[in-house]
A and B are shown apart, each in its own frame.
Chain A
Amino acid sequence: MIDNHILAPIFIQLFVAIIQLIFWRKTITQRYLSIGGSIIGLLVAIRLFSRVYEGGILTMNAANWDAPFGIVFVADTLSVTLVLLTSIAALSVSLFSSVGLSRQRMLYGYFPIFHFLIMGLNGAFLTGDIFNLYVFFEVIIISSFVLMTLGGRKAQVEGAVKYMAMNILASTFFLTGIGILYGLTGSLNMADLSLKIQEVQNKSLIGITSCFFIVGFGIKSAVFPLYYWLPSSYHTPPSAVAATFGGLLTKVGIYAMLRVFSLIFIPDDFTRNLLLTIAVFTIITGAMGALIKTNIRRLFSYLIVCHIGFMIGGIGMFTKVALMGTIFYLIHDIIVKTNLFLIAGLIRQLRGSMDMKKLGGLYRDYPKITLLIAIVLFSLVGIPPLSGFWPKIYLFQEAFTQEQYFYVFGLIVGSFVTLYVIAKMWSEVFWKQPDNEQDIDDRFEPMPLYRKILMVLPIGILALTTLYIGLNAETIVHVADRISTQLIDTSAYVQAVLGTK
């Protein structure tokens, strides 16, 4: 079914960014535009989700060129779910950044670039053409370079150099892979590729090509041994930026892996073992890194790496149950990780520091905010019935069925370390009495009420979403079930793109 509505999430972000460029240096107007644009974006995403969920896969041939010759945009359940989650996260981040950022950063175009970044994310989720996916990856990384260096502190530039070097390397691998794939099949349309790749005689060359994609997407989603750029760059930009990066950017790599490995390279035994090994090492190295960090944001950065491993393992097992676990975890992770970095920003406002040794007494001074944060931290750890608990059931179940005890070991280590570091952080930041009271630099207390509300509201929105995912898990399981069915049996996707032939 052809539908122009698919492009709406992309174009709304584009037009918001263009209008904000017209209001260059008028930061107040840009703030209103950003929040308004994000609300419209969310409404459009909800509408697109409900249409796809009820009516099936929608496609749109750009420029009216028939697939597989033109560029196709495809909205299946996986794409629209991620677009919806991105829109929720984007709304929260744009609310938070309207008060949580220095005016200096806004003057140099923070808001337009932020909306270009969200445009790139929505585009990457919705496109059905592998080269177009690469183009949207480029839009994402160029915007993220700007966001990361905006402000120009020395630590930021240092982090950005590592980030940029690794991401350009990732793009090179990705592009080389696309080149070989095009040489083998003569097509770039993902649905068309999934049919043509079966006719290629040289199976070993396909295996090697898939390694290019594993390396490319692996760097982007920060898996072992290519993860080190993430913890050394994500703690440098302001929290609002780190929230977008931590919540969304690494997940694009996971999305691309899900798409490419379900449609084009169906994982064989070698790829499965490779992915599972990578997953376990990613979990363990992420967990070990998180154990020794005292800066909250560095700690959260290592937790991102750790939890990426859970999802990679699900892709590695590649059965319906395992993919359900991965997708449920993806849904949970985007919301929770975005929220964690916003919370880090809030703690910085409350105490003027993000070092756990200097923090303390937050529960005594701000009991209500602490309660809100507790919901998020508990669902990150996966306390039943909150959202982090449900996907692990599926992952454990499938790992036992396939007798992947190495991965089970990884899951257990990852979960316990997460529990331990969060409990440690809880006692240090919220319960402990601060060492010397006069060092506390509370920038939150003197703020006017509306600024306080704008700062806590996004965390509340995301915490409510987390609660919804956890307490209404049945709905999410239905969505994950539908997505994993479409990923295992791609004939519906191929038929929607290429028509009935």
Chain B
Amino acid sequence: MKSAILQTATRYLLPILLLFSVFLLLRGHYYPGGGFVGGLVASIAFVLHSFANGTKATMKILRYKPLSLIPIGLGTAACSVIFPLAFGLPAMTGLWLEEPIPVIGMIGTAIFFDLGVYLVVIGVVLTILFTIALEE
């Protein structure tokens, strides 16, 4: 079932939802949000696209299989966990840059952990949904 209204709306909603998911990801350190919620919102954006245009079209704009996001995400998170070891600190210690970066704010190891979670969530949700959608 293809609806012109949904397709047109999705064209505008996809970038807005993705932007919102990044906003949630960055906001997560002190306020509600974070990698998990951000990842869910981002994957919902792609799910909406697949409702409007079909699963094949969504896989085409993604280019890579969502499955490949899982090891990248896990690797990012795991590296952020062991990064403090290089400075002789216990694993998972939060390390922060001295100066804030415009727009993003303070950069620390925690953001990379959240980024990893974000990627893993997108990868897992899309893998599951695409598998179910393509079975039909």
Does B78 lie within 8 Å of A4, measured CB to CB? no
B57 CB–A CB distance under 8 Å: no
Contact A7:B91 (CB < 8 A) given known A18-B71, A22-B71: yes
B37 within 8 A of A: no
CB distance from A446 to the nearest CB of B (A): 36
With A18-B75, A18-B78 as known contacts, state yes or no: A24 contacts B91, CB within 8 Å: no
Q: Is the CB of A64 within 8 A of B93?
A: yes
| Closest Cβ–Cβ distance, residue B4 to chain A (whole Å) | 38
CB proximity of B92 to chain A, nearest CB, Å: 4
Whether A11 and B82, one on each chain, are in contact in the complex, defined by CB atoms closer than 8 angstroms, is yes
Report the minimal beta-carbon distance from A96 to chain B, rounded to whole angstroms: 25
Within the complex, which residue of A7, A18, A24, A62 is in contact with B67, where a contact is CB–CB below 8 Å? A24
Would you list which residues of chain B between 39 and 98 have a CB under 8 Å from chain A?
Answer: 67-68, 70-71, 74-75, 78, 81-82, 84-85, 89-94
Closest to B67 in A: A24
**CB proximity of B119 to chain A, nearest CB, Å:** 12
Number of interface residues of B (CB under 8 A): 17
Contact of A63 among B68, B74, B85, B94 (CB under 8 A): B94
Q: How far is the CA of A379 from the CA of B94 in the complex (A)?
A: 50
Min C-beta distance of A61 to chain B, whole Å: 6
Assess the A60–B78 pair: CB atoms within 8 A: no
Report the nearest A residue to B81, measured CB to CB. A11
Q: Within 8 Å CB of A85, what residues of B?
A: none
Q: Is A393 interfacial (CB 8 A cutoff)?
A: no
A19, A24, A62, A63 — most chain B CB neighbours (10 Å): A63
- Partner of A21 from the list B71, B89, B94 (CB cut-off 8 Å) is B71
0/1 per residue, A53-73, Cβ < 8 Å to B? 000000011111000000000
Q: Contact at A64–B71, with CB atoms within 8 Å?
A: no
Q: Which residues of B contact A24 (CB under 8 A)?
A: 67-68, 71
Residues of chain B lying within 8 A (CB to CB) of residue A62: 90-92
- A2: chain B residues within 8 A (beta carbon): 90
| Chain B residues within an 8 Å CB radius of A17 | 74
Question: A60 to chain B: which residues have CB within 8 Å?
Answer: 90-91
Residues of chain B lying within 8 A (CB to CB) of residue A281 = none
Cβ of A257 < 8 Å from any Cβ of B? no
CA distance A64 to B70 in the complex (A): 28
Q: Does A182 contact B (CB under 8 A)?
A: no
A60–B67 CA distance with the chains assembled, in angstroms: 34
Cβ of A15 within 8 Å of any chain B Cβ, yes or no, is yes
Kindly provide the distance from the CB of B122 to the nearest chain A CB, expressed in whole angstroms.
Answer: 15
B78 A11 Cβ-Cβ under 8 A? yes
A444 to chain B, nearest CB (A): 35
Which residue from chain B places its CB closest to the CB of A2 in the assembled complex? B90
Contact at A15–B89, with CB atoms within 8 Å?
A: no
Our pick among A14, A19, A21, A63 for the contact of B92 (Cβ within 8 Å) is A63
Q: Are A63 and B93 in contact (CB under 8 A)?
A: yes
A64:B89 contact, CB within 8 angstroms: yes
Distance (whole angstroms) from the CB of B89 to the closest CB of chain A:
6
- Bits for A1-43, please: 1 = Cβ < 8 Å to B, else 0: 0101001000100110111011010000000000000000000
Across the interface, which residues of B come within 8 angstroms of A4, CB to CB?
85, 90-91
Task: For A61, list chain B residues within 8 Å (CB).
Answer: 90
Q: Most chain-B CB neighbours within 10 Å: which of A21, A24, A61?
A: A21
**Which residue on chain A has the smallest CB distance to residue B71?**
A21
With a cutoff of 8 Å between Cβ atoms, the chain A residues found around residue B78 in the complex are: 11, 14-15, 18
- CB-nearest residue of chain B to A112: B71
Distance (whole angstroms) from the CB of B107 to the closest CB of chain A: 18
Shortest C-beta distance, A71 to chain B (Å), equals 8
Nearest Cβ in chain A — how far from B135, in angstroms?
Answer: 14
Q: Give A63 Cβ to nearest chain B Cβ, in Å.
A: 4
A7: chain B residues at CB < 8 Å are 91
Which chain B residue shows the least CB distance to A14? B78
Q: What CA separation (Å) do A15 and B71 show in the bound complex?
A: 10
**Distance to closest chain B CB from A69 (angstroms):** 13
- B82 CB to nearest A CB, Å: 6
Residues of B within 8 A of A64 (CB): 84, 89-90, 92-93
Q: In the complex, which residues of chain A have a beta carbon less than 8 angstroms from the beta carbon of B93? A: 63-64
A63 touches B90 (CB 8 A): yes
Q: Which residue of A lies closest to B74 (CB)?
A: A18
Nearest chain A CB to B120 CB, angstrom units:
10
CA distance A22 to B75 in the complex (A): 10
Min C-beta distance of B81 to chain A, whole Å: 8
A11 to B85 Cα, complex, angstroms:
12
Complex-state Cα separation, A365 to B90, whole angstroms: 56
* Cα separation A62 to B94 with both chains bound (whole Å): 10
A64 to B93 CA separation, bound complex (whole angstroms): 6
A binding-site residues for B, Cβ under 8 Å: 2, 4, 7, 11, 14-15, 17-19, 21-22, 24, 60-64
Task: Add 11 more A-B contacts to A18-B74, A24-B67 (CB < 8 A).
Answer: A11-B91, A14-B78, A17-B74, A18-B75, A18-B78, A21-B70, A21-B74, A61-B90, A62-B90, A63-B92, A63-B93
Q: Residues on B close to A: CB < 8 A?
A: 67-68, 70-71, 74-75, 78, 81-82, 84-85, 89-94
Ranked nearest first, the 5 interchain pairs of A and B with the lowest CB-CB distance are A21-B71, A63-B92, A64-B93, A22-B71, A62-B92
Task: Report 22 cross-chain contacts, Cβ distance below 8 Å, ordered by A residue.
Answer: A4-B91, A11-B78, A11-B82, A11-B91, A14-B74, A15-B78, A17-B74, A18-B74, A21-B70, A22-B68, A22-B71, A22-B75, A24-B68, A61-B90, A62-B90, A62-B92, A63-B90, A63-B91, A63-B92, A63-B93, A64-B89, A64-B90
